[in-house]
């Protein structure tokens, strides 16, 4: 079945780095754009970044631009999020999601938790 | 950036009730709007896209309408499994925003 599984979350100090992964299965990964969306504790959803199916285009929320980098390896069916210069306000559950029609997210992973704290 | 507001922020309803949630965009977005349902501790699920298209597998009691700046999500007869938080989401020039959410709980 179609599945996304995130990993790589953890506790990191302010200013530190972390790389998240999202393993895809059950569909042709290279045919779909992919998003990262996050949710701070007790808060709503915040879109983070989008990468096109072939990696040729990437878009970022202003809140992470210059600090986060999205990438993908279609040979490994895996999406990545490199997070640098982490701040307390980056603390959240991070979800990867499949993009449909470029605008929407039709399949979501269960999320991985990132905590930025000293 | 386009902002989305939702009303109400929360509501209490009974099984069988008709429920309507409104989403308003700060500027026109044509029909590029989706609705998601999220239950506590779970990932969101897509319900509606393109303002009124029902995602495959979603019960027909869910419907969406609207275009431009004003949109609605309607649940025609609320079921026990529908108690959750609902978010609208838009895309404009590849900048995506979600509404603040509407929590639907049991009266």
- The stretch B11-18 carries a mean pLDDT of 96
- Interchain CB distance below 8 Å, A102 and B94: yes
> Would you say B30 and B69 are in contact if contact means Cβ atoms under 8 Å apart?
no
> Would you say A49 and A4 are in contact if contact means Cβ atoms under 8 Å apart?
no
* A45 in contact with B, Cβ within 8 Å: yes
B46: nearest CB among A50, A104, A111: A104
| pLDDT tens figures, A44-67 | 999 999 999 999 999 999 999 999
Are β-strands A34-39 and A45-51 bridged in parallel, bridged antiparallel, or unpaired?
Answer: antiparallel
- The stretch B89-104 carries a mean pLDDT of 94
β-strand partners of A105: A99
Residues in chain A: 118
Closest CA to B66 of B95, B30, B96: B30
pLDDT class of A101 with cuts at 50, 70, 90:
confident
Report chain B residues touching chain A, CB-CB < 8 A.
1, 32, 34, 36, 38, 42-46, 49-50, 55, 87, 89, 91, 94-101
> Would you say A80 and A17 are in contact if contact means Cβ atoms under 8 Å apart?
no
Residue B57 in tokens: 């597998």
Gap between the Cα atoms of B75 and A81, Å rounded: 36
pLDDT for B36:
98
Any idea which residue has 């506590």 for tokens? B40
Which residue from A minimizes the CA distance to B91?
A: A103
């Amino acid at each position: 079945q179609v599945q996304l599984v995130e990993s790589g979350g953890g506790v990191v100090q302010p200013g530190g780095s972390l790389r998240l992964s999202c393993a895809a299965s059950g569909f042709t990964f290279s045919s779909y754009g992919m998003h990262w969306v996050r949710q701070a504790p007790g808060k709503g959803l915040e879109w983070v970044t989008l990468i096109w199916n072939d990696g040729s285009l990437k878009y970022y929320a202003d809140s992470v631009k210059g600090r986060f980098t999205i990438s993908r390896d279609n040979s490994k069916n895996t999406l990545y999020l490199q997070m640098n210069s982490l701040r307390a306000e980056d603390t959240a559950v991070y979800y990867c999601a499949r993009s449909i029609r470029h605008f929407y997210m039709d399949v979501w992973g269960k999320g991985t938790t990132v905590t930025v704290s000293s | 950036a386009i902002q989305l507001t939702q009303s109400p922020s929360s509501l209490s309803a009974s099984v069988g009730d008709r429920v309507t949630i409104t989403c308003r965009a700060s500027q026109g977005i044509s029909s590029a709007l989706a609705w998601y349902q999220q239950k506590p501790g779970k990932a969101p699920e897509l319900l509606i896209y393109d303002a009124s298209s029902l995602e495959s597998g979603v019960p027909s009691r869910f419907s969406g309408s609207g275009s431009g700046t004003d949109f609605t999500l309607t649940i025609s007869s609320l079921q026990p499994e529908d108690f959750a938080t609902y978010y609208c989401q838009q895309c404009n020039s590849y900048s995506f925003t979600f509404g603040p959410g509407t929590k639907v709980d049991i009266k």
